[in-house]
Amino acid sequence: MAKTVYDPHTLEPKWQAIWDERQAFRTPSDPAELASKPKFYVLDMFPYPSGAGLHVGHPEGYTATDVIARLKRMQGHNVLHPMGWDAFGLPAERAAVREGEHPATITGRNIDNFRRQIKRLGFSYDWEREVSTCSADYYRWTQWIFLKLYERGLAYMAEVPVNWCPALGTVLANEEVKDGKYVETGDPVERRNMRQWMLKITVYAERLLADLDPLDWPEHVKEMQRNWIGRSEGAEIIFAIAGGDHSFDVFTTRPDTLFGCTYCVLSPEHPLVALITTEAQQREVEAYVAEAAHKTDLQRTDLAKEKTGVFTGAHALHPVTGEPVPIWVADYVLMSYGSGAIMAVPGQDQRDWDFAEQYGLPIVRTVQPPDGFDGQAYVGEGPAIHSDFLDGLEIPTAKARMIAWLEEHGAGNGRVEYRLRDWLFSRQRYWGEPFPVLHAADGEVIPLDYDALPVELPPVDEYKPTQDGQPPLARAGSDWLEVTLPDGRKATRETNTMPQWAGSCWYYLRYLDAHNTELPFSPEAEKYWMPVDLYIGGVEHAVLHLLYARFWHKVLYDCGLVSTVEPFQKLFNQGMILAYSYQDTQGKYYHPDEVEERGDKLFAGAVEVSTQIEKMSKSKLNVVSPDDVISEHGADAMRLYELFMGPLEQQKPWQTTGVEGVYRFLQRTWRLIVDEHDGKLAPKLTDAPAASEPELEKVLHKTIKKVQQDTETLQMNTAISQMMIFVNEATQAKTLPREIASAFLRVLAPYAPHLAEELWSRLGMENLIAHAEWPAYDEALCVDDTITIVVQVNGKKRDELSVPKDADRATLEQLALASEKAGRFLEGREPRRVIVVPGRLVNIVV
RNA sequence: GCGAAAGUGGCGGAAUUGGUAGACGCGCUAGACUUAGGAUCUAGUCCCGUAAUCGGGGUGGGGGUUCGAGUCCCCCCUUUCGCACCA
């Protein structure tokens, strides 16, 4: 008489093998099969396969998408649910330098580990469509799309000021730099002029902004993209320089304040600085410009409080009055925004005010501040003053009038400016996509033919820049580097590589048709599957991957290669999973296993420690590995806990005891169907109809309804609560009709698929529960016959009444007034008003 | 500084359009069954008072609207996240 307890460790590998063998999750590609059902494309942000392996944060999103994928399949959809690897990138290259192995070897090993870990969780991915951005079959098409961009004039080389990271030996995109540091490693970044590949994302600024509105995305992500694109409306104004032919443009959002412009400022990098500086000022200006050039962005922003600058000795002519206005150089004006020059209006701009005070420049108010205003620059509403033909006008009218004047007199025009810059698209790295271009000896850039792709990464002896600062690809042999053109000219290959974001710009399209050797994807597959119906991933990509991918998608749209203007219809960000960490007063961290509770204090051995919730990190000894969780409680418990912890979008701490709770729930579910003493079916299972257990039947239908709705809206924590309620009820019930058990298992199946399959087959079902039909609920069975009504006196709860569900107002009022408990609180007073909310409560007001 | 989101038991978190605050789970307490329990089952568990019935208080703080506020409005505090010399 062998005990047969719930044992995920035998049951989970068994069902995973059966799913594999039967190709249970193969996505159909046959046109007839596709046409027969509606589609659903549910996508995860594919991971970068790091050496550290998966942490419990990854599977949170993956579990949510898997539950949705399984639900949609059961509801009769063709589901596309793929997984792949964002496999080019810096860490593998650094590991290669460290360990002396090829990045491809290291990446391959990491991918194998990630795949193994992900497969243990029983996700219903179609592994036939797995993609890896570093394989030549894939990056061939990344290069192909680059050629499309080049053809359309959207890729160009230019000598531009770039973010150079000396520690990494490469340039970085604006999006990768924050506070003058590389966002991933914190290494400082400095400004340098270099000839680099750029992508004209700015051409798409307006569309990237406008097309955000209808998307079903979290509002804060849309807002972050809007801020990043940074649209502002204003005017471009031309200032001529006194006594010369030179002139410069400024951009301003406040053309109405032009009469308050008492000086102008050029950025230290502005090309005009060297041309207009007077001899007397030359030494001082040159020293200032040189100093600014040596500052990193970090230093430049750190010193933000103290404004510095020098006078060029030159004057500009005020566009309206013709008065001379001194021109200064100051590093609070950035070359990277607008035209790198400003008209300074200290009266209405605090930065200009600070600068004017420091250097004794005049201040003129052109907007009347309210009475009693004692601040410095005034930025609020008010009528124009000291402004000639604008006097008395409110700001919006004054702006329009000034723009009209400028346009009439050829002194400027209305203009929209964006914060978004063109995307710096090349890196001095080895482990990335080679550019499909050649450079002729005369400097001509020659794109390769489409049929010359892929340009494969050549072997090199070292993954470091060369002695003379060339990118690692310059180490390749001359047989790779040197090419003879059909016309006999010599050319060399581009030695920069594409940034790590390139491959992820279009991977969701490759999944549609992952083995196509003629095209990146077929038009038929694209038409059927796009757009992505649900995309889940971390918020860290809000302005990187998600902006870049939208840009490429729009280019592909303009090329007629995709049929939707946006790739991701619905986006959802899962919150980060945190963990408790333990520290003593010295700041030393202790592993959670070492910590025990004594009284109400925590100790690690003899040392008292305090606890806090932090991001998981190796150095804090608080990383939770999915492998450990699965080894202890199984994949189903892991899946369930990931979703039961709390709302998907929220940050929340991992609690080991929480996993035990859901594990117990799975055990109770097992015992509902299986008699643990002999392994046979539980004796309480009956063949009687569901209606033989009317109370349980009602709970079942409520459960189907709630789980279905909550799953669709990604409120999976409450869906799981409801399943727990069902199992608690079913455990209490005298009998369990098979009809009810069968329906419940199908509800459970998307969440705990291994256990559901096992119990389903034990009930004698032949097919896979993964392919079973989602049960329908009966609305009539979702409401109780008798409900509890609250009786309040003056808004305070005084009694509860059990009443039929359809009791009318009059009945409820009568019953409430007859309540003895409530009556006590009336203290003989006459009800002034009685409020009846059918189905809820009766409030007696005295 | 600007913008956004959020503050509910010992803990994670539930609460249709404003309508029983604390679902579900953890932890804790007591009991049962056990050779044993870090297994399982049963009961209890927001706080204060009470043997209990019951009463009072309670969703960061203060005010307001309402028969009724965790939910709506105003002010303040705290936390988290973006952006930040953007002209």
Q: Phi and psi for A180 in degrees, rounded to 5?
A: 70, 15
Residues A262 and A399 both lie in one domain: yes
Same domain, A545 and A520: yes
Say whether both A483 and A510 belong to one domain. no
Tell me the C-alpha distance between A504 and A391, whole Å. Answer: 54
Query: CA of A701 and C1' of B10: distance in angstroms?
Result: 35
User: Nearest residue (Cα to C1') for B14?
Assistant: A718
Q: Could you tell me if residue A29 is inside a domain? A: no
- A597 or A153: which leads in pLDDT: A153
Residues A333 and A431 in one domain: no
Residue A458 in any domain: the answer is: yes
If you measure CA to C1', which residue is closest to nucleotide B13?
Answer: A646
A776 and A693 in a single domain? The answer is yes
Which nucleotide is nearest, taking the CA of residue A341 and each C1'? B87
Asked if residue A98 is part of any domain, the answer here is yes
Question: From the CA of A658, how many Å to the C1' of B37?
Answer: 20
- Contact call for residues A348 and A283 (beta carbons, < 8 A): no
> How many domains is chain A partitioned into structurally?
6
Residue A240 three-state SS: strand
Measuring from the CA of residue A661 to each C1', which nucleotide is nearest?
B25
Contact A123, A537 (CB under 8 A): no
Confidence of residue A300 (pLDDT cuts 50, 70, 90): low
**What is the tens place of the pLDDT at every residue in A551-566?**
999 999 999 999 999 9
C1' of B1 to CA of A305 (Å) = 12
Q: Among A781, A802, A820, where does a domain finish?
A: A781
Amino acid at A471: P
Q: Are residues A614 and A657 in the same domain?
A: no
Return the pLDDT at A1. Answer: 39
Task: Report residue A817 as tokens.
Answer: 């007034």
Q: Which amino acid makes up residue A251? A: F
Predicted local confidence at residue A304, as pLDDT? 55
The residue assigned the tokens 């009810």 is A740
Q: Is the pLDDT at A21 greater than 50, yes or no?
A: yes
The closest alpha carbon to A818, from A801, A804, A805, belongs to: A801
Q: What nucleotide is nearest A219 when CA is compared to C1'? A: B4
Residues A273 and A402 in one domain: yes
Does A24 fall in a domain?
A: no
Nearest residue to nucleotide B20 when comparing alpha carbons to its C1'?
A790
Whose tokens are 């010369």? That residue is: A244
> What is the pLDDT confidence band of residue A296, given thresholds at 50, 70 and 90?
low
Question: Do A369 and A464 fall within a single domain?
Answer: no
Q: How confident is the model at residue A299 (pLDDT cuts 50, 70, 90)?
A: low
Instruction: Please report, rounded to whole angstroms, the spatial distance between the CA atom of protein residue A796 and the C1' atom of nucleotide B48.
Output: 19
Per cent of chain A over pLDDT 90 is 64
Residues A636 and A726 in one domain: yes
Using C1' positions and the CA of A335, the closest nucleotide is: B86
The secondary structure of A486-510 as a DSSP string is TTS-EEEE---B--TTTGGGTHHHH
A767/A793 same-domain check: no
Residue A841: per-residue pLDDT:
86
Percentage, residues of chain A above pLDDT 70? 98
- CATH number of the domain encompassing residue A839: 3.10.20.590
Tell me the ipTM for this assembly.
Answer: 0.94
- Residue A169's nearest CA partner among A183, A198, A190 is A190
Instruction: Compute the average pLDDT of residues A266-276.
Output: 92
Strand ranges, E, within A318-474: 324-329, 341-344, 412-418, 423-424, 437-440, 445-447
B66 nearest neighbour residue (CA to C1') = A795
CA atoms A394, A395, A396, A397: torsion sign: positive
Split at pLDDT 50, 70, 90, the class of A539 is confident
Q: How far is the CA of A547 from the C1' of B79 (A)?
A: 29
C1’ B41 / CA A658, Å: 21
**Would you state the structure tokens that stand for residue A258, as one six-digit string?**
């032009």
How distant is C1' of B62 from CA of A797, in Å?
Answer: 26
Question: What domain range includes position A379?
Answer: 231-418
CATH assignment of the domain containing A350? 3.90.740.10
pLDDT tens-digit map of A728-755: 999 989 899 999 999 999 999 999 999 9
**Strand B, nucleotides covered by protein (CB < 7 Å):** 3-5, 11-17, 19-21, 23-27, 39-42, 55-56, 67-69, 80-87
Whole-angstrom Cα distance, residue A234 to residue A256?
10
How many Å apart are CA A27 and CA A110, to the nearest integer?
Answer: 26
A774 lies in some domain: yes
CB-side exposure of A808: number of CA atoms within 13 Å?
1
Which nt is closest to the CA of A348, judged by C1'?
A: B87
Residue A599 CA distance to nucleotide B28 C1' (Å)? 13
Closest CA to A621 of A577, A580, A652, A659: A580
Q: Which nucleotide is nearest to A342 (CA to C1')?
A: B87
Residue whose CA is minimally distant from B5 C1': A220
Task: Give the CATH number for residue A646.
Answer: 1.10.730.10
Residues found in chain A: 846
Mean of per-residue pLDDT scores for chain A: 91
A656 with A706, same domain? yes
Which residue has the closest alpha carbon to B27 C1'?
Answer: A657
pLDDT of residue A185: 78
| Domain boundary, last residue among A418, A441, A460 | A418
DSSP-derived pairing of the beta strands A577-583 and A571-573: unpaired
- The arithmetic mean of pLDDT across residues A381-395, rounded, is 92
Check residue A297 and give its pLDDT. 60
Instruction: Please report, rounded to whole angstroms, the spatial distance between the CA atom of protein residue A795 and the C1' atom of nucleotide B53.
Output: 23
Q: Is residue A588 part of a domain?
A: yes
Q: How far: A842 CA to B70 C1' (Å)?
A: 21
Measuring from the CA of residue A354 to each C1', which nucleotide is nearest?
B85
* A175: nearest nucleotide, CA–C1' criterion: B83
Residue A772 pLDDT grade (very low, low, confident, very high; cuts 50, 70, 90): very high
d(CA A64, C1' B69) / Å: 34
Model confidence pLDDT, tens digit, residues A77-89 = 999 999 999 999 9
Q: Closest nt to A665 (CA→C1')?
A: B25
Average pLDDT over residues A561-575: 94
Using the C1' atom of nucleotide B87, identify the protein residue whose alpha carbon is closest: A252
* Nucleotide nearest residue A297, measured CA to C1': B85
pLDDT number for residue A433: 97
Provide, in whole angstroms, the distance separating residue A592's CA from nucleotide B76's C1'.
39
The last residue of one of the domains, among A573, A594, A611, is: A573
Highest-confidence segment of A65-74, A349-358, A478-487, A609-618: A65-74
Q: How far is the CA of A15 from the C1' of B35 (A)?
A: 38
**CATH number, domain with residue A87:** 3.40.50.620
- Residues A210 and A331 reside in one and the same domain: no
- Distance of A548 CA from B18 C1′ (whole Å): 43
CA distance A402 to A393: 11
Output the pLDDT for position A338: 87
Q: Which nucleotide is nearest to A722 (CA to C1')?
A: B24
Smallest CA–C1' separation from A645, nucleotide: B12
**Å between A688 CA and B41 C1'?**
27
Instruction: Classify residue A315: in a domain, yes or no.
Output: yes
Q: Give the residue nearest to nucleotide B12 (CA to C1').
A: A645
> Which nucleotide has the least CA–C1' distance to A651?
B80
Residue at A30 is within a domain: no
- CA A792 – C1' B61 distance (Å)? 28
One-letter amino acid for residue A831 of the chain: P
Over range A13-31, report the average pLDDT.
Answer: 95
pLDDT of A327: 96
Q: Looking at the C1' of nucleotide B2, which residue has the nearest alpha carbon? A: A227
